[in-house]
Chain A
Amino acid sequence: MKSNIQKFIYTLALSIVIFSCQKEDNIISSNSLDGLSKLKEGYAIGASAKVEIWGKKNFFVGYNNLVVVLYDSLNLKEKITDAHIHFMPLMTMSMMGQMPMVHAAPVENPSETPVNDVFPGAVAFIMPSTETGVWQLRVAVHNHKYDKEGTASFNINVDSPTNSSLTVFTTTTDSLKLVLSMVQPTTPKVGMNDIEFTIHQKAGMMDFPADDSYAIEITPEMPSMGHGSPNNVNPTNTGNGHYKGKVNFTMTGEWKINVVVKKNGVAVSQNLYFNVVI
Chain B
Amino acid sequence: MKKYFLLSLILIFSEFAHAETIDTTKMTCTCVDLEEVNISANLPLNDNKVAGFFRTNQFASMDNINARLEGMSLIKRGAYAMEPQLNGFSGGQINATIDGMKMFGACTDKMDPITSYIEPTNLKTLTISQGTSGCQNGCSLGGTFDMTLQEPDSKGLIPFYSSLGFGYESISRSKNVLFLSGFSHQKWAFGVEGVYRKNENYKTGENVTIPFSQFQKANLHSVLKYKPNSKSTFKADFLLDDARNVGYPALPMDVGVARASLFALEYTHQGKIQTKAKMYVNSILHVMDDSQRDSLYILKTKPVGKSDTVFMRMDMPGKSSTLGAYLQFVIPWNNRNKLMLKVDNYTNRSLAEMTMHMRYAGFAPELPMYMQTWPENLRNVSGIFIQNSTYVSENLRMTVDGRIDYNIDRLQSKYGQEQASIFNYNLSKQQSKLIKSINFSTQYQLVSELSILANIGYSERMPTVGERLGYYLYNAYDGYDYIGNPYLKAENSKFARLSLTYSKSNLQLNISQSFSFVNDYIMGITNSEIPAMNFYAKGIRVYSNVPSAKLYSTDLQLLYSPTKNLTTFLLSKFTYGELSAREPLPLISPLKNTIVVEYHKKTFSAQGECESALAQNRINTAYNETSTPGFTVFNLKSNYSISSQHATLDLSVGITNLFNKIYYEHLDWGRINRPGRSINLFVNYSY
Binding site for B on A (CB under 8 A): 1, 4-5, 8-9, 11-12, 15-16, 18-20, 22, 25, 189-192, 222-231, 248-254, 277-278
User: Are A1 and B382 closer than 8 Å at their CB atoms?
Assistant: no
B680 at the A/B interface (Cβ < 8 Å)? no
Q: Which of B345, B410, B414, B422 contacts A12 (CB 8 A)?
A: B345
User: Are A191 and B421 closer than 8 Å at their CB atoms?
Assistant: yes
Given contacts A230-B529, A231-B422, A253-B366, 12 further A-B contacts (CB under 8 A): A12-B345, A19-B347, A20-B380, A189-B418, A192-B418, A192-B422, A226-B301, A226-B535, A229-B531, A248-B421, A253-B368, A253-B369
A156 to B22 Cα, complex, angstroms:
98
B423 at the A/B interface (Cβ < 8 Å)? yes
A250 to B304 Cα, complex, angstroms:
21
A22 to B413 Cα, complex, angstroms:
10
13 CB-based A-B contacts, threshold 8 Å: A8-B267, A15-B345, A15-B347, A16-B380, A19-B349, A190-B371, A191-B419, A223-B303, A230-B529, A230-B540, A249-B422, A250-B533, A252-B368
User: Are A191 and B303 closer than 8 Å at their CB atoms?
Assistant: no
Q: Which of B325, B343, B360, B423 contacts A15 (CB 8 A)?
A: B325
A119 to B325 Cα, complex, angstroms:
59
Least CB distance from A257 to B in Å reads 15
A25 to B540 Cα, complex, angstroms:
33
Residues of A within 8 A of B418 (CB): 189-192
B: number of interface residues (CB 8 Å): 53
Q: Which of B327, B347, B415 contacts A190 (CB 8 A)?
A: B415
Q: Which of B324, B327, B369, B421 contacts A192 (CB 8 A)?
A: B421
User: Are B369 and A251 closer than 8 Å at their CB atoms?
Assistant: yes
Residues of B within 8 A of A11 (CB): 279, 325
User: Are B303 and A4 closer than 8 Å at their CB atoms?
Assistant: no
Q: A11-B279, A190-B419 are in contact. Are A19 and B378 (CB under 8 A)?
A: yes
Least CB distance from A115 to B in Å reads 27
B37 at the A/B interface (Cβ < 8 Å)? no
B175 at the A/B interface (Cβ < 8 Å)? no
Q: Which of A192, A227, A251, A278 has the most CB of B within 10 A?
A: A251
Residues of B within 8 A of A223 (CB): 303-304
- Interface flags for B351-376 (1: CB within 8 Å of A; 0: not) read 00000101010000011111100000
A227 to B534 Cα, complex, angstroms:
8
User: Are A4 and B267 closer than 8 Å at their CB atoms?
Assistant: yes
Q: Which of A18, A20, A229 contacts B422 (CB 8 A)?
A: A229
User: Are B415 and A225 closer than 8 Å at their CB atoms?
Assistant: no
Q: What residue in chain A is nearest B540 (Cβ atoms)? A: A230
Q: Which of A4, A226, A229, A231 has the most CB of B within 10 A?
A: A226
Q: What residue in chain A is nearest B483 (Cβ atoms)? A: A230
User: Are B277 and A8 closer than 8 Å at their CB atoms?
Assistant: yes
User: Are B423 and A230 closer than 8 Å at their CB atoms?
Assistant: yes
A227 to B369 Cα, complex, angstroms:
12
User: Are B301 and A230 closer than 8 Å at their CB atoms?
Assistant: no
Q: What residue in chain A is nearest B527 (Cβ atoms)? A: A230
A225 to B378 Cα, complex, angstroms:
32
A25 to B419 Cα, complex, angstroms:
18
User: Are B323 and A225 closer than 8 Å at their CB atoms?
Assistant: no
- Interface flags for B269-286 (1: CB within 8 Å of A; 0: not) read 101000101010000000
B306 at the A/B interface (Cβ < 8 Å)? yes
B472 at the A/B interface (Cβ < 8 Å)? yes
Least CB distance from A224 to B in Å reads 5
A225 to B535 Cα, complex, angstroms:
7
- Interface flags for B407-420 (1: CB within 8 Å of A; 0: not) read 00010101101111
Q: Which of A9, A11, A191, A278 has the most CB of B within 10 A?
A: A191
Q: What residue in chain B is nearest A8 (Cβ atoms)? A: B277
Residues of B within 8 A of A5 (CB): 275, 277, 327
User: Are A19 and B327 closer than 8 Å at their CB atoms?
Assistant: no
User: Are A252 and B423 closer than 8 Å at their CB atoms?
Assistant: no
Residues of B within 8 A of A189 (CB): 418
User: Are A252 and B369 closer than 8 Å at their CB atoms?
Assistant: yes
Least CB distance from B282 to A in Å reads 13
User: Are B410 and A22 closer than 8 Å at their CB atoms?
Assistant: yes
Residues of B within 8 A of A18 (CB): 323
Residues of B within 8 A of A227 (CB): 531-533, 535
Least CB distance from A190 to B in Å reads 6
Least CB distance from B273 to A in Å reads 10
Q: Which of B23-49 contact A (CB under 8 A)?
A: none
User: Are B275 and A19 closer than 8 Å at their CB atoms?
Assistant: no
Least CB distance from A253 to B in Å reads 4
Q: Which of B383-421 contact A (CB under 8 A)?
A: 410, 412, 414-415, 417-421
A222 to B304 Cα, complex, angstroms:
12
Q: What residue in chain B is nearest A277 (Cβ atoms)? A: B367
User: Are A231 and B423 closer than 8 Å at their CB atoms?
Assistant: yes
B530 at the A/B interface (Cβ < 8 Å)? yes
A5 to B271 Cα, complex, angstroms:
14
Residues of A within 8 A of B529 (CB): 230-231
B335 at the A/B interface (Cβ < 8 Å)? no
User: Are B423 and A224 closer than 8 Å at their CB atoms?
Assistant: no
Residues of B within 8 A of A278 (CB): 367
User: Are A252 and B327 closer than 8 Å at their CB atoms?
Assistant: no
A22 to B343 Cα, complex, angstroms:
25
User: Are B356 and A225 closer than 8 Å at their CB atoms?
Assistant: yes
B643 at the A/B interface (Cβ < 8 Å)? no
Of all A-B residue pairs in the complex, the 7 with the closest CB atoms, nearest first, are A191-B418, A253-B369, A192-B421, A230-B530, A19-B347, A251-B371, A248-B422
B334 at the A/B interface (Cβ < 8 Å)? no
Least CB distance from A246 to B in Å reads 9
Residues of A within 8 A of B423 (CB): 230-231
User: Are A15 and B419 closer than 8 Å at their CB atoms?
Assistant: no
User: Are A8 and B325 closer than 8 Å at their CB atoms?
Assistant: yes
B424 at the A/B interface (Cβ < 8 Å)? yes
A278 to B530 Cα, complex, angstroms:
21
Q: A11-B279, A22-B410, A250-B371 are in contact. Are A224 and B327 (CB under 8 A)?
A: no
User: Are A251 and B531 closer than 8 Å at their CB atoms?
Assistant: no
A168 to B176 Cα, complex, angstroms:
70
B207 at the A/B interface (Cβ < 8 Å)? no
User: Are A15 and B324 closer than 8 Å at their CB atoms?
Assistant: yes
User: Are B323 and A19 closer than 8 Å at their CB atoms?
Assistant: yes
Q: What residue in chain B is nearest A20 (Cβ atoms)? A: B380
User: Are B532 and A252 closer than 8 Å at their CB atoms?
Assistant: no
Least CB distance from B573 to A in Å reads 39
A18 to B279 Cα, complex, angstroms:
15
Q: Which of B327, B378, B535 contacts A8 (CB 8 A)?
A: B327
Q: A191-B419, A252-B368, A277-B367 are in contact. Are A12 and B327 (CB under 8 A)?
A: yes
A226 to B301 Cα, complex, angstroms:
8
A16 to B378 Cα, complex, angstroms:
11
- Interface flags for B661-679 (1: CB within 8 Å of A; 0: not) read 0000000000000000000
Q: What residue in chain A is nearest B370 (Cβ atoms)? A: A252
